[in-house]
Structure formats: C-alpha cells, structure tokens
Chains A and B, each alone.
Chain A
C-alpha cells in the first residue's frame, strides 16, 4: 500500500506529523484528577515517605500516651484517698488530741498505689500537727496526679509546712512536729489554697467552628504553684469557724479551648509546603469553692497566635490530598478578664472583676495529619487531627495550657493556597 503514496503525501506528512499546538493551562490538572493515586510500591522506598510515616507514628504514639494517662487511672485513687480522709476527719473531729497511732491504720489501708502512700503521710502529718479538719482537706483533693505533684504542692504551699512535708515524705513513721503548736487559721490557709478538684472532663468532644481538644494532665499541678486567687485566704478565714460542718474545696474546670483561624500555605514544591496564618483561641476556666462562704471565679483569656509549619503531601486520591505537618506556634494573650462572685451560702454578697493579661508569650509545638479537598482553585476544605505540646512560659496565670500542656485535637476549616 505504501507504493500508493506520492510526494504530496510525503510533503504533508513531513510538515504535519510533528506539528505542535500549545495546550491550555488547566489540561494537566484535569488529567491528573482523573488518574488513580500512586502505586503502593514506591511508598516504602522513598525517604520522603519514611519522614511522613515518622510524623504519623509520632501522632499515634502521643495519642496512645494520652489514652493511657486518662483520668480513669487517677480517679479511683483520688476517690479512695478522699474516702479515707473523710474517715480520718471524722475521727479527728471527735478527738481533741489525735495521735499518730490513730492515723496509722489509714496509711496501711491505702496501699493501692505509690501515689496513695506518698500522699497519706502528708495528710497524716498535717492532721496531727494542726488537729483541725481544715488541715486534713488538702490531701483529700489531689484528684489527679502523682506523688511528685503532691510533694510540690505542699512544698510551695507554705513555708512553715515545707519542712514538715519533706520530713513526712522521707520518713513516714516519724511524721514529727506533731507536738508543734500551730494556730487554726494559719494552718488552714495554706492547706486550703492547695486544695483542688480538677474537673472530671478531660476528654471533650464537640462539633462546630472551633477545635475539639482533649488533653492529658500536666504532671505538675500548676494551680498549686501559681495560685491565681487572692481571695482564698479570706475564704478560709471566713469558713474557719464552721470547719466541722463544711469542707471547703476548690473545683477547677478548664473548658475546651475554642479556636478559629485562617491559614495560608505556600508550596515549596510538589510535596512540601509552608503553612502560616492567624489563630484566635479562647481559653476559659472556672474555679468554685464549696463551703458556706465560697467563690465562683471565671477566667477568660483571648489569644492571638501565629503558626508556622511544614506540611508534606503523602498521597493524592481523586483530588483528596492526605498530608502530615509539623510546626510551632506562638500565641500572645491580647485580653483577659477574671470575675469573682462571692457567695454566703447561696447568696451573692460581692463581686470582683479585673482585667488580666498573660504577659509571657505562649509557645507550642505540634504535629498533625489531615485530609484536604480543593473546592476552588485557591481554596481547600480540610480536616485534621493533631497533637500539641505547650511549653511552660512561667506565667502565674493558670490555663488549660498549663494544666494540660499536651493535647490532641481535631480541626476543620478552609485553607487558601497559592
């Protein structure tokens, strides 16, 4: 058949065979969208994928750590300690001069965990020394946490108590200083301040515009170290008279932080992108004491944050992109308010309001994994799970960040890209 060809045919062929025409800009994207995702074979081979796998592993490990450290472990201990303490309190109330031997059985009973053991001597010592119900309360509280925390609490609580506490921790039987006379109120005040019942809500889920956060408790009780309310002393004084009937206690509740933000990403190449933006967070907490005279204190802090992170695109499927990211964020407290309502029984008799601000910047690191879907050419919808760790910035203001420096959160939103 080739012989049918003539020079004209060849001329056309030579001129048109390799004729090129420019394509349109969106053609490749349209093709790429219709292609299946990457084959699994190179997934494991590429170093970049290992990097992504490391980030995801970190997320999974940290999440597991959180789960293991959930309140379920701490609560039974706290409940038991509380129960035991109440028993002691009852005994103490009956007797004017309690002795060490009377308390000893309690210590023996609380053998469940090392935490209980460490705490118990402290309690015992305090009871003995002060011979007041109020003194016994501090030990009741310690709902969360480990022995270092409680030790710290006591040490920082009161200069006079420090020596005693340390002695107790080191040497249980000789809780010592039992004979040391101490005034009722003086003893009550430091103890009362340390007391606290952390809210049972450590894992919260919610849906909406913000983020859903769940976190682990700080190993160090920052509330005890950074006391926020000056009125505690006053309260303890007021309640000292009827200490036998009411046990003042402070319930602390840190609400789930609400965050909204806008981020901008800049693609460094096909896989890596820098992400930054602006983030607003509202951290609210409340403290409530339980006694005849009690306070309800609410704290609201507004933070503006600037995140910077590096994201890595792991895979693409039907326009969906799976990515992992790690980065840092700095936040500054732009405004804050502390409102204290004072109650006598259920009657409000005073109200104090003050503006507060955390001067120290709050720094955190985070790792995230998520999915994004392009709605428009420059706008994507995303949902991601992340883990954050907030560094202690030395502030005296307690927030959920200081109480739960490590947390896991879910986020969803829009992202602009260019």
Chain B
C-alpha cells in the first residue's frame, strides 16, 4: 500500500490502513514526542493523543505537501499544548541574559550519536528544550515560535541561545 492508498484508507476509517500508518510512523513520532517531554509515559500519552488527532482530522490534510510534515505538526502541537497546560514553559523565561556566549564545536557534535544528542536535548530545561526543538529541529522562525508559545521574539531568541550554550557546556564536559 503506497502512501496515497494509506491516506485514502485512513480517511474512510479503514482500521487496517490506520494500523499500517501507525506502524510506519509511530517510532518516528515517538522520537518527536520524547524531544519535547523527557519522561516516557508522558511521551506515550502524547503519541496516542497525536495519532487519534491524525486519524480524526485526516480530511484536513489537503494532499499538498508532505504528509509526514503535516503529521509532525500535529504531534508538535500536542506536545506544546501539554507543555502549556503544565506551565513548564515559564520556568526558563526569566533566565540570566548576561551569561557569556559560548559557541559549540561542530566537529564534536558531528561525531556524536543521535542517541547521545537526544539525551542532551532531553536534559535541557523545558523552556529551553522547547524553543531549541522548534527552532533548530523543526525549523520554525523566532517569530513563529513567539506566536506559538505566546512569548516575545527576543525571548525566543535568547532562550535558544541559552539552550545552545547549555548544550555546549555539557558537550565540553563530556569530551
């Protein structure tokens, strides 16, 4: 079954198509969830919420553009909704902006495994982690992030910078 057939099957509510779609994308979407929340049980909840939303809003996928990209947005939104509800984003909004900027070393990072980098990202405070994920991995602009998180654009920037500093410190400590 190719992706178009799969999508059509899911639109009709075909349980077999839904299961195949789940099997095709669930591991990747679990990776997305775990980048935003660092405990596995919460990530499972997000995964389930995300897939239910995907299957119940299949009709809103226009068919233009990447289906995976559309799915990913749904999962990211689920994660953000959870973070907003649990109020963890505020934790990192009042950070010291005067800290010294440290540029991370790209060569070291390129040698690191994805699992190691994943662990480092998960260890970031929720606010830093969210902005870092949205900007560096998902590719949103600081303007978009400020709208999504209801923060100012400069806050988004500074949080992103602090997140990278924190990552570099950890990397330097490890290597």
- A interface residues with partner B (beta carbon < 8 Å): 1-2, 4-5, 7-9, 11-13, 15-24, 27-28, 30-32, 34-39, 41-42, 270, 316
Contacts and interface: CB of A to CB of B under 8 A. Distances in A.
B122 to A, nearest CB: 11
Given A12-B136, A16-B137, A27-B48, A32 B31 contact: no
Query: For chain B, what secondary structure do more than half of its interface residues adopt (helix, strand, loop), or is it mixed?
Result: helix
B47 A11 contact: no
Given A21-B34, A38-B15, A42-B14, A31 B137 contact: no
Contacts of A9: 135-136
B13 A15 contact: no
Contact of B15 (A15, A41, A316): A316
B162 interface: no
Interface of B: 12-16, 18-19, 22-23, 26-28, 30-31, 34-35, 43-44, 47-48, 51-52, 55-56, 103-104, 106, 109-110, 112-115, 117-118, 121, 132, 135-137, 139, 141-144, 157, 164
Closest 6 CB pairs of A and B: A1-B141, A39-B13, A20-B27, A19-B31, A9-B136, A21-B30
Given A13-B137, A16-B117, A39-B13, A23 B27 contact: yes
Given A1-B141, A36-B56, A20 B30 contact: yes
11 contacts: A9-B135, A12-B117, A12-B132, A18-B28, A19-B118, A20-B28, A23-B44, A32-B15, A32-B18, A35-B18, A42-B14
A37 B55 CA distance: 12
B167 to A, nearest CB: 8
A38 B43 CA distance: 27
Given A4-B141, A16-B114, 12 more contacts: A8-B136, A19-B35, A27-B44, A28-B19, A28-B26, A34-B48, A35-B13, A37-B13, A38-B13, A38-B15, A39-B12, A42-B12
Contacts of A42: 12-14
A271 to B, nearest CB: 9
Nearest to B34: A21
A337 B136 CA distance: 84
Contact of A4 (B22, B28, B121, B142): B142
B30 A22 contact: yes
A24 B113 CA distance: 23
A324 B22 CA distance: 28
Given A27-B44, A41-B12, A13 B139 contact: yes
B143 A1 contact: yes
Contact of B22 (A21, A28, A39, A41): A28
Contacts of A23: 26-27, 30, 44, 47
B30 A31 contact: no
B15 A17 contact: no
A16 B12 contact: no
Contacts of A24: 44
B44 A31 contact: no
A27 B33 CA distance: 14
Contacts of A30: 48
Nearest to B141: A1
A22 B47 CA distance: 11
B48 to A, nearest CB: 5
Contacts of B43: 21
Contact of B109 (A8, A17, A19, A38): A8
A418 B115 CA distance: 36
B36 to A, nearest CB: 12
